[in-house]
Amino acid sequence: MRSVLVAMLFLSECETLASKEAAAGCQVADIASTRYALHHNPNAYEQNSIPVPALDIIKLALAAVIKWGISDEEWNSSSRGLRIFITAVGCGPALTNIHVARQKP
């Protein structure tokens, strides 16, 4: 996770990581990768105390708010670092989930 965040900081000039689409997409990727890991690795578990179905709803709502609830003007007026951080919050766990799914049980 740390290496992902460091890489994103080095790529902070990359406008794609600062986009609403990337931030919303990473929330959805976290949902999909969590489900994938739980299905493919019997030792995988959700570390969050919130039940997975509730997390799915929260993350879908967050993705919708990012994509449609925040105007482009509001989003783009935020600092690039903050926008990349919001993307990393979703993508970091998704990458970890994929790693867990690929581990041997």
In this prediction, residue 71 carries a pLDDT of: 96
Q: Please, what is the Cα angle at 58 between 97 and 35, to 5 degrees?
A: 30
* Orientation of helix 52-64 relative to helix 20-40, angle to 10°: 160
In this prediction, residue 41 carries a pLDDT of: 92
What would the mean pLDDT of 80-87 be, rounded to a whole number? 88
Tokens of 43: 């030792």
Tens-place pLDDT, residues 5-58: 556 555 556 677 789 999 999 999 999 999 999 999 999 999 989 999 999 999
Residue 101 to residue 82: CA distance in whole angstroms: 29
Each domain of the chain, given as residue ranges in start order, spans 2-8+17-102
What would the mean pLDDT of 66-83 be, rounded to a whole number? 93
Burial of 59 (0-12, 13-18, 19+ CB in 10 A): buried
